[in-house]
Structure 1
């Protein structure tokens, strides 16, 4: 395996800058944010570190190469020329998946087949075998065809990085963990601060805020595909896990409060917080939004309120927005960060946001509305 290689972190549209900043903070080299992804250079230790510590990225990929392909023959030869034997052993599994956008080679199944065949032909020559059992470690090959340029990658993460390991169960229409973490960052959550979510659901925003405030690496409680790879031995992962553990701040004084009208959601929030290791700083109870009051000297309200696509009743959603506009009273040292896909949110809420930011919750285009002026 090479000492250093090109790595890629795909991410939700709108958080590329956050991913770039956190990678630089991890000491990644040549960080280059692009549309929906961030490229950087790193070694095996950086590969492990990015998997363990990235709050906003969706997964970590090794980029083997990039080239132009207008025909299946060009695709085949371009893939075959890549150094697959540096990564994939003769017993390892290497399934192929990917996507094609605005490219002449538009058939994804055909591209999958050609890429698989090219890898097999390369490895046949290198290992002098005619058949690959693929019973070993998983090397998930991914390709992206964009405007006739092919990027060929191997996924190091396995399950997406948003799967932190604490949310086995979730309420309807949960917010993605990576997006919740981004909201905590954008809200400038303090290590000694207070975060309140009056629509806490399964507790994702509260838990991600706590992990952020205490600097707990989000990947510490899960495993990654590359842990089984040759050249990515357990000592590398152990070293990076110990590094991440050393950076945890347990004595911060951070507290978060979750409220929801659904008692089952409260139970789920507490259960997930326990799995995430942040139960000591989290309180949750059944309470309606009408009872909310900004108590204390300072705090951040961060929430993903029910909206039309989730409730199937737009009027009910708009009524909730109006109530929020009333109970989320401007108060010095208090801020309110709200995500919604509803273009009429500010009209119902009753005030224009002090700042807005466009982000995606899955495939749903949303706005984050930030209120912090008293």
Structure 2
């Protein structure tokens, strides 16, 4: 692999600017923004740093390839042409998730099947093996189509980043920790000032404010897919 890679930090719609600000604070310059995600470049250490420190992102993905695809043949052949040997070992487990929005390839299950088959054929040829045992480490792949642009990614996060690991029990209608942190950041609260949440429920907003004020990494108490 080269030293530099392109990553995608996914987030809830409307929070892209907050994620961009967090990335800049970590030393990464965002290169582009789309609804629900922010692209940025970094070396492999960015996987650990962003998963550990991003407070408002949902997950961090490695961008493997991006191309126009309006038919299954293009989707299949272009996916097959990717150097998957660079990303996946011969025994990798690689389920394929998918989503499609405003694209001609509207069937997500069909897109997933096409991409899975293409990766299998590419892996067999590139690793020069006859079977794929898929009994090794997990690499969760995704095919996302937006306006007929297909983006292939590999997840580095695992369970969504809102699962901080500090909460044993959740209330009846808990607010996501990522959204709570975004609310604190958008309020421009400063750690030297008092923080009050009179309707705190299970205390998520106050907890996120305390972690922000004490500069505690939100991912300190959990594991990530890239580390397993």
Short-chain TM bin: over 0.9
Alignment match, 1:54: 54
Aligned to 2:39: 39
SS at match of 1:116: helix
Structure 2 distance, partners of 1:50, 1:122, is 30
Equivalent-residue separation in structure 1 for 2:146 and 2:116 (angstroms) = 19
Q: C-alpha offsets along residues 300-353 of structure 1, whole Å, 9 cap, x if unaligned? A: xxxxxxxxxxxxxxxxxxxxxxxxxxxxxxxxxxxxxxxxxxxxxxxxxxxxxx
The alpha carbon displacement at 1:30 in A equals: 4.3
Pairs aligned (count): 228
Deviation at 1:33, TM superposition (A): 2.6
Native 8 Å contact 1:5 1:41 kept in 2: yes
> How far does the alpha carbon of each residue in 1:78-108 deviate from its partner, in whole angstroms, 9 at most, with x for none?
1111121111101111000111112111111
Q: Encode CA deviations 1:202-249: one digit per residue, 9 max, x unaligned.
A: 211111010111111101111100113xxxxxxxxxxxxxxxxxxxxx
Question: For residue 65 of structure 1, what is the aligned residue in structure 2?
Answer: 65
Is the CA contact (8 Å cut-off) linking 1:170 and 1:201 kept in structure 2? no
**Cα distance 1:6–1:71, how it changes in 2: closer, same or farther (>3 A)?**
same
2:20–2:30 Cα contact (<8 Å) kept: no
- Contact residue 98 and residue 112 of structure 2 kept, 8 A: yes
Q: Which residue of 2 aligns with 1:213?
A: 213
State the match for 1:107 in structure 2.
107
* CA drift at 1:193: 2.5
TM-score (norm 1): 0.59
Q: Which runs of 5+ in 1 are unaligned?
A: 229-374
2:130 paired with 1:143:
no
Give the drift of 1:34: 2.4
Query: Does structure 1 retain, via aligned residues, the 8 Å contact 2:184–2:209?
Result: yes
**Equivalent residues of 1:96, 1:142 under 8 A apart:** yes
Runs of 4+ in 1 over 4 A off after TM superposition: none
Alpha-carbon contact 1:6-1:63 (below 8 Å) kept = yes
Q: CA RMSD in A?
A: 1.2
Distance 1:167 1:211 in 2: 13
Deviation, structure 1 residue 189 = 2.1
**Bigger Rg, which one:** 1
8 Å CA contact retained: 2:76, 2:118: yes
Deviation of 1:13 (Å): 1.2
SS in 2 for 1:17: helix
Q: Secondary structure at the match of 2:22?
A: helix
Question: Counterparts of 2:29 and 2:18 in 1: how far apart (Å)?
Answer: 16
Partner of 1:126: 126
Query: How far, CA to CA, are the matches of 1:85 and 1:192 in structure 2?
Result: 51
TM-score w.r.t. the length of structure 2 is 0.96
The 5 A counterparts of 1:122-271 are 122-228=122-228
Quote the offset at 1:170 in angstroms: 1.0
Distance 1:197 1:10, change over 3 A: same
Residue aligning to 1:9: 9
Name the residue aligned to 2:90. 90
SS at match of 1:197: coil
Secondary structure (helix, strand or coil) at the match of 1:194 reads coil
Q: Distance in 2 between the 1:165 and 1:47 partners? A: 18
Q: Distance in 1 between matches of 2:64 and 2:174?
A: 34
Aligned partners of 1:46 and 1:162: how far apart in 2? Answer: 19
How far does residue 167 in structure 1 lie from its aligned partner after superposition? Answer: 2.0
For residues 30 and 187 of structure 1, the distance between their equivalents in structure 2, rounded to whole angstroms, comes to: 23
- SS, match of residue 67 in structure 2: strand
